[in-house]
Protein backbone atom coordinates (compact mmCIF):
# COMPACT_ATOMS: atom_id res chain seq x y z
CA UNK A 1 0.00 0.00 0.00
CA UNK A 2 1.43 3.36 -0.97
CA UNK A 3 1.81 6.33 1.31
CA UNK A 4 -0.28 8.42 -1.09
CA UNK A 5 -3.23 6.06 -0.65
CA UNK A 6 -2.83 6.01 3.14
CA UNK A 7 -2.76 9.82 3.06
CA UNK A 8 -6.05 9.74 1.12
CA UNK A 9 -7.65 7.44 3.71
CA UNK A 10 -6.40 9.69 6.52
CA UNK A 11 -7.83 12.88 4.98
CA UNK A 12 -11.10 11.14 4.09
CA UNK A 13 -11.38 10.13 7.75
CA UNK A 14 -10.67 13.70 8.90
CA UNK A 15 -13.36 14.97 6.52
CA UNK A 16 -15.99 12.35 7.39
CA UNK A 17 -15.58 11.92 11.13
CA UNK A 18 -17.26 15.14 12.30
CA UNK A 19 -20.47 14.13 10.48
CA UNK A 20 -20.35 10.54 11.74
CA UNK A 21 -19.69 11.64 15.33
CA UNK A 22 -22.46 14.25 15.09
CA UNK A 23 -24.83 11.55 13.85
CA UNK A 24 -23.95 9.26 16.77
CA UNK A 25 -24.53 12.08 19.28
CA UNK A 26 -27.71 13.27 17.52
CA UNK A 27 -29.14 9.76 17.69
CA UNK A 28 -28.17 9.45 21.32
CA UNK A 29 -29.77 12.79 22.37
CA UNK A 30 -32.81 12.51 20.07
CA UNK A 31 -35.17 11.02 22.70
CA UNK A 32 -34.23 13.76 25.19
CA UNK A 33 -33.85 16.91 23.10
CA UNK A 34 -34.45 17.19 19.37
CA UNK A 35 -33.09 20.76 19.34
CA UNK A 36 -29.70 19.50 20.54
CA UNK A 37 -29.91 16.77 17.88
CA UNK A 38 -30.54 19.48 15.27
CA UNK A 39 -27.57 21.46 16.60
CA UNK A 40 -25.41 18.33 16.28
CA UNK A 41 -26.57 17.95 12.68
CA UNK A 42 -25.71 21.57 11.87
CA UNK A 43 -22.30 21.52 13.55
CA UNK A 44 -21.34 18.11 12.13
CA UNK A 45 -22.48 18.97 8.62
CA UNK A 46 -20.77 22.35 8.68
CA UNK A 47 -17.51 20.91 10.04
CA UNK A 48 -17.37 18.07 7.52
CA UNK A 49 -18.27 20.30 4.58
CA UNK A 50 -15.63 22.88 5.48
CA UNK A 51 -13.01 20.20 6.07
CA UNK A 52 -13.80 18.72 2.66
CA UNK A 53 -13.45 22.15 1.07
CA UNK A 54 -10.12 22.99 2.65
CA UNK A 55 -8.39 19.57 2.81
CA UNK A 56 -9.36 17.88 -0.48
CA UNK A 57 -6.18 19.29 -2.06
CA UNK A 58 -4.10 17.31 0.46
CA UNK A 59 -5.35 14.03 -1.01
CA UNK A 60 -4.26 14.33 -4.59
CA UNK A 61 -3.59 17.92 -5.52
CA UNK A 62 -7.23 18.76 -6.23
CA UNK A 63 -8.09 22.46 -6.51
CA UNK A 64 -10.35 24.20 -4.02
CA UNK A 65 -13.90 23.05 -4.74
CA UNK A 66 -16.47 25.58 -6.01
CA UNK A 67 -18.47 27.35 -3.30
CA UNK A 68 -21.61 25.71 -4.74
CA UNK A 69 -20.18 22.28 -3.88
CA UNK A 70 -19.43 23.42 -0.33
CA UNK A 71 -22.98 24.75 0.06
CA UNK A 72 -24.41 21.49 -1.31
CA UNK A 73 -22.31 19.56 1.20
CA UNK A 74 -23.39 21.75 4.12
CA UNK A 75 -27.10 21.41 3.35
CA UNK A 76 -27.01 17.74 2.36
CA UNK A 77 -24.84 16.53 5.24
CA UNK A 78 -26.81 18.52 7.85
CA UNK A 79 -30.08 17.17 6.46
CA UNK A 80 -28.77 13.61 6.30
CA UNK A 81 -27.60 13.68 9.93
CA UNK A 82 -30.92 15.06 11.17
CA UNK A 83 -33.07 12.76 9.03
CA UNK A 84 -31.00 9.65 9.84
CA UNK A 85 -31.29 10.46 13.57
CA UNK A 86 -35.07 10.79 13.25
CA UNK A 87 -35.27 7.61 11.16
CA UNK A 88 -33.27 5.50 13.64
CA UNK A 89 -35.89 6.30 16.30
CA UNK A 90 -38.83 5.56 14.00
CA UNK A 91 -40.61 2.30 14.75
CA UNK A 92 -40.79 1.17 11.12
CA UNK A 93 -37.07 0.99 10.39
CA UNK A 94 -35.33 -2.29 9.60
CA UNK A 95 -32.22 -3.46 7.79
CA UNK A 96 -33.92 -3.47 4.37
CA UNK A 97 -35.00 0.14 4.76
CA UNK A 98 -31.52 0.94 6.17
CA UNK A 99 -29.91 -0.40 2.99
CA UNK A 100 -32.35 1.47 0.75
CA UNK A 101 -31.95 4.78 2.60
CA UNK A 102 -28.17 4.46 2.79
CA UNK A 103 -27.92 3.77 -0.94
CA UNK A 104 -30.33 6.57 -1.86
CA UNK A 105 -28.71 9.15 0.42
CA UNK A 106 -25.21 8.34 -0.84
CA UNK A 107 -26.24 8.38 -4.49
CA UNK A 108 -28.12 11.64 -4.05
CA UNK A 109 -25.18 13.31 -2.31
CA UNK A 110 -22.78 12.10 -5.00
CA UNK A 111 -25.00 13.34 -7.82
CA UNK A 112 -25.55 16.71 -6.11
CA UNK A 113 -21.81 17.10 -5.55
CA UNK A 114 -21.20 16.26 -9.21
CA UNK A 115 -23.77 18.81 -10.39
CA UNK A 116 -22.23 21.48 -8.15
CA UNK A 117 -18.76 20.81 -9.56
CA UNK A 118 -18.90 21.56 -13.29
CA UNK A 119 -16.33 19.95 -15.52
CA UNK A 120 -15.85 16.83 -13.41
CA UNK A 121 -15.51 13.60 -15.39
CA UNK A 122 -18.77 11.64 -15.53
CA UNK A 123 -17.04 8.37 -14.62
CA UNK A 124 -15.48 10.01 -11.56
CA UNK A 125 -18.85 11.40 -10.49
CA UNK A 126 -20.50 8.00 -10.92
CA UNK A 127 -17.75 6.19 -8.98
CA UNK A 128 -17.89 8.77 -6.21
CA UNK A 129 -21.69 8.46 -5.99
CA UNK A 130 -21.32 4.67 -5.80
CA UNK A 131 -18.71 5.06 -3.05
CA UNK A 132 -21.02 7.36 -1.08
CA UNK A 133 -23.90 4.91 -1.58
CA UNK A 134 -21.85 2.04 -0.13
CA UNK A 135 -20.57 4.25 2.68
CA UNK A 136 -24.09 5.54 3.43
CA UNK A 137 -25.33 1.98 3.72
CA UNK A 138 -22.49 1.08 6.08
CA UNK A 139 -23.21 4.15 8.20
CA UNK A 140 -26.95 3.63 8.63
CA UNK A 141 -26.74 -0.12 9.28
CA UNK A 142 -23.82 0.23 11.69
CA UNK A 143 -25.08 3.28 13.54
CA UNK A 144 -28.31 1.44 14.35
CA UNK A 145 -26.24 -1.09 16.30
CA UNK A 146 -25.02 1.59 18.72
CA UNK A 147 -28.20 3.68 18.82
CA UNK A 148 -29.45 2.38 22.15
CA UNK A 149 -26.09 1.94 23.85
CA UNK A 150 -24.16 4.30 26.10
CA UNK A 151 -22.80 7.51 24.61
CA UNK A 152 -19.23 6.24 24.98
CA UNK A 153 -20.11 3.07 23.05
CA UNK A 154 -21.81 5.16 20.36
CA UNK A 155 -18.73 7.39 20.05
CA UNK A 156 -16.35 4.42 19.75
CA UNK A 157 -18.73 2.94 17.19
CA UNK A 158 -18.68 6.21 15.26
CA UNK A 159 -14.87 6.02 15.04
CA UNK A 160 -15.05 2.52 13.59
CA UNK A 161 -17.79 3.58 11.17
CA UNK A 162 -15.73 6.62 10.14
CA UNK A 163 -12.72 4.41 9.41
CA UNK A 164 -14.86 1.96 7.41
CA UNK A 165 -16.55 4.62 5.31
CA UNK A 166 -13.24 6.40 4.69
CA UNK A 167 -11.65 3.18 3.42
CA UNK A 168 -14.65 2.50 1.14
CA UNK A 169 -14.59 6.01 -0.33
CA UNK A 170 -10.81 5.96 -0.72
CA UNK A 171 -10.87 2.59 -2.50
CA UNK A 172 -13.46 3.88 -4.97
CA UNK A 173 -12.13 7.43 -5.43
CA UNK A 174 -8.38 7.02 -4.99
CA UNK A 175 -7.55 3.42 -5.94
CA UNK A 176 -5.27 4.81 -8.68
CA UNK A 177 -2.93 5.83 -5.85
CA UNK A 178 -2.29 2.13 -5.25
CA UNK A 179 -0.62 1.81 -8.65
CA UNK A 180 3.19 1.67 -8.58
CA UNK A 181 4.82 5.06 -8.94
CA UNK A 182 1.60 7.11 -8.66
CA UNK A 183 1.68 9.78 -5.96
CA UNK A 184 -1.01 12.22 -7.15
CA UNK A 185 -3.81 12.34 -9.69
Predicted confidence (pLDDT) per residue in 127-159, tens digit: 999 999 999 999 999 988 888 889 999 999 999
Neighbours of 163 (CB within 10 A): 16
Alpha helices (runs of H) in the chain, residue ranges in sequence order: 3-29, 34-60, 67-88, 95-116, 122-145, 151-173
pTM: 0.92
* Angle between helical axes of 95-116 and 122-145 (0-180°, round to 10): 150
| Confidence label for 31 from pLDDT (cuts 50, 70 and 90) | very high
Residue 26 domain-assigned (yes or no): yes
User: What's the total number of domains in the chain?
Assistant: 1
Mean pLDDT of all residues belonging to the chain: 91
Q: Evaluate whether 140 touches 98 at the Cβ level (below 8 Å).
A: yes
Q: CB-based contacts of 49: which residues, under 8 Å, 6+ apart?
A: 70, 73, 74, 77
Residue 43 domain-assigned (yes or no): yes
Q: How do residues 49-107 score in pLDDT, each as one tens digit?
A: 999 999 988 887 778 888 999 999 999 999 999 999 999 999 888 999 999 999 999 99
pLDDT of 172 reads 92
Residue 48 domain-assigned (yes or no): yes
- Domain residues for the domain of 160 are 3-176
Neighbours of 131 (CB within 10 A): 21
Amino acid sequence: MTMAFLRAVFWEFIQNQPAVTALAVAIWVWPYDKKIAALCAILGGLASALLIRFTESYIGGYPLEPIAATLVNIVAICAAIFLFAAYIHARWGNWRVDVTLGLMAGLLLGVLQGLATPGGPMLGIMLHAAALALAGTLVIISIRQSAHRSLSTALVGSLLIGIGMSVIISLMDYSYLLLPGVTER
